[in-house]
Structure 1
Amino acid sequence: MNQTEAALAERSALAREIAREAGLQALAFFADRAELAVDTKRNAQDAVTMADRQVELLLRERIRARFPDDGLFGEEFGVEAGRSGFVWVMDPIDGTSPFIFGLDSWCVSIAVTQNDRPAIGTIYVPVADEMFVAERGGGASLNGAPLRLGDAATVQNGLVGIGASHRVEPGLVARFVERLLSRGGIFIRNGSGALMLAYVAAGRLAAYWEPHMNAWDCLAGLLIVEEAGGWIHDPREWSSLEAGGLVVAGAAGTRWDMLELAELTERLPA
């Protein structure tokens, strides 16, 4: 194992360790959520709780203690520059609205980028005790069992996850849904984009689309899908990591349909 591989292995081990620790802390808040104060950010649907903030503070503390030269980029406390070339991109609770309302569809999402490219992806689902993990070039797994997507899933025979937010024009989402239904597909939305990407990697969803996601919501999930043998719209095509952008991902058999539905037809072979 060379020096770079060792550095990645150490960070991957820490990502799994702190994702579980953070998830258990979030689960304690979830069990007592009636006591949580809920604030809003841009609008009433963009909620944040003390749990989000405390869990991200825990993640940052654990990372700084082990890798003080690494950068940090999280939903609640923004960017802290580093010097190592590694950046931890984290969402302490992806799916805050389901979390607040007592639904199970939330998770802890942690990615580590190396020179701006995702190298490690970890998604922990505390309610189900499921740990999705990927390392670039090393494959993906769920609770230690390898994940490998086949080519049988299509838009027509599987479920397509969709995401939406007030950052995008409502008609854009409505038009995608209309095109999907017209093509014989059906959709699901559970309130956590990271979790739905993990479900794509596990073969529970055939594909996922969201017109704009922030990096902390999707980088881990995109790498897990890619390493499970799926395809993704590469986030390097965003204007910047900080800006976020379009997310499309799926099993191999969904690619042409999803590219057309997402109006990315210039990517299709002639």
Structure 2
Amino acid sequence: MHRDSDKAVEICRKAGQLALDYFRNRDDLEIETKGPQDWVTEADRNVELLIRDELAKAWPDDGIVGEEHAAAVGQSGYRWVIDPIDGTANFVSGIPVWCVVLAGVAEGRTQLGVIHDPIHDETFVATRGGGATVNGKQMHVAKDVPIDAGTISIGFSNRAEARNTVPVIDDLLTAGAKFHRNASGAITLAYVAAGRLLGYMEEHMNAWDCLAGQLLIYEAGGRIEDQDADGMIDRGGRVIAGAPQVFAQLQDIASARWTAPD
């Protein structure tokens, strides 16, 4: 089931400009706390509304699932999954590490993924079977870099427990890897796809944070765990992804510490 990736990119870039305007005037933002280390702002809500409006114009029969608003049921069998601002904690703190995320899902698989970073003007795009690009240039995961010569990123949120994550960090450091976290899981997954990081691990992610990035990594020659996208939309799940030469090692570390994926 095909959707025009150029149109999806256009929508994300338009949303990114709105988010950037809010970021530059963030001292005036209304900020609400959803939970520990979990915030939402008027920027999140309004950027998502813009994306929803643009998607409805382009593909009126498609469903929409977003982080900040109720799901819209579609008739086509195709669903869009939105994170208007991934990295809200960074956003409200003035840290320039956040992005707009859009994934298209059909037949239980992510078919299209866009991650747009307005700060650095980088747009990461993948289509199933069509490869992955950053600003139109083909990208690939890191090749021939062992775990003790690269960096693995670990995500953490209030959906997981620190006592489960700390041993994983210890295992990675023991294996010789460097440890990285930037509080935006989506942009980190994009960096794995671009070969900037070797891999990514998180005990639990929501679909809007990970589906686009997982497709980017897969289409850039990396490996991801085989998960049903519809199940991820419903429940979320663990995310292990990386370059082929480190993926099995990351899975082994995760399997010793975390529950298996659905």
SS, match of residue 151 in structure 1: coil
Q: Deviations over 1:175-208 (max 9, x none)?
A: 1111111111121100100000000000110000
**What CA RMSD, in Å, does the superposition of the two structures yield over aligned residues?**
1.5
Match of 1:140?
132
CA distance in 2, matches of 1:203, 1:264: 26
CA distance in 2, matches of 1:238, 1:72: 12
CA distance in 1, matches of 2:142, 2:91: 32
Kindly tell me the number of residue pairs found equivalent between the two proteins: 257
Match of 2:224?
232
Q: How many angstroms does 1:149 deviate by?
A: 2.6
**4+ long deviations beyond 4 Å:** 237-240
Contact (CA 8 Å) 2:108, 2:229: kept in 1 or not?
no
Q: For 1:37, which of 6, 24, 30 is the aligned residue? A: 30
**Which runs of 5 or more structure 1 residues have no equivalent in the other structure?**
266-270
Relative to structure 2, which stretch is displaced further, 256-265 or 180-189? 256-265
Alignment of 1:2-21 (within 5 A): 4=1, 7-8=2-3, 10=4, 12-21=5-14
Match of 2:145?
153
CA distance in 1, matches of 2:142, 2:116: 23
Relative to structure 2, which stretch is displaced further, 27-36 or 183-192? 183-192
Q: Which AA in structure 1 matches 2:213?
A: G
Q: How many angstroms does 1:234 deviate by?
A: 2.2
Match of 2:260?
none
TM-score, normalising length: structure 1? 0.92
TM-score, normalising length: structure 2? 0.94
Contact (CA 8 Å) 1:154, 1:251: kept in 2 or not?
no
The 3 A distance-change label for structure 1 pair 65 and 237 is closer
Contact (CA 8 Å) 1:230, 1:249: kept in 2 or not?
yes
Q: How many angstroms does 1:238 deviate by?
A: 8.4
CA distance in 1, matches of 2:11, 2:20: 14
Q: How many angstroms does 1:153 deviate by?
A: 2.3
SS, match of residue 71 in structure 2: strand
Identity of aligned residues (%): 45
Match of 2:16?
23
CA distance in 2, matches of 1:208, 1:112: 21
Q: Which AA in structure 2 matches 1:250?
A: G
Q: How many angstroms does 1:155 deviate by?
A: 1.9
Q: For 2:174, which of 150, 174, 182 is the aligned residue? A: 182
Q: Deviations over 1:77-98 (max 9, x none)?
A: 1311111011000100000000
Q: Deviations over 1:189-236 (max 9, x none)?
A: 001000000000001100000000000001000000000000001232
